[in-house]
Amino acid sequence: MINIELRLFANLSKFSPKNSKNFPIDNNMSVKQLISKLGVDIDQAKIIFINSRKKNYDDRLKDGDKVGIFPPVGG
């Protein structure tokens, strides 16, 4: 197990766990697996940042990563 800091924005914030500042996940978990673990529909998690860099669903998470997940942005 490793720990990440997790932030979900806008309408995804309702999926934020109570321990989001120190959220335990499995080693080598992908962003897509994390989204599934949180119960978020993959179509609702469109913009992913890890340590302030834009990433995609296949990226793997490491201990201490800061993860931000955003819904699709309209304008």
CATH for 40: 3.10.20.30
Q: What is the mean pLDDT of the chain?
A: 95
Neighbour-count burial of 32, counting CB atoms closer than 10 A to its CB (0-12 exposed, 13-18 middle, 19+ buried) = middle
Is residue 37 one of the residues assigned to a domain? yes
Domain range holding 10? Answer: 2-70
pTM over 0.85: yes
Number of domains in the chain: 1
9 located within any domain: yes
Give me the phi and psi of 10, to 5 degrees please.
Answer: 55, -130
Which pLDDT value is given to residue 42?
A: 94
| Predicted confidence (pLDDT) per residue in 31-50, tens digit | 999 999 999 999 999 999 99
Closest by Cα among 55, 69, 53, 51 to 11: 69
Q: How far apart are the C-alpha atoms of 70 and 7, rounded to whole Å?
A: 9
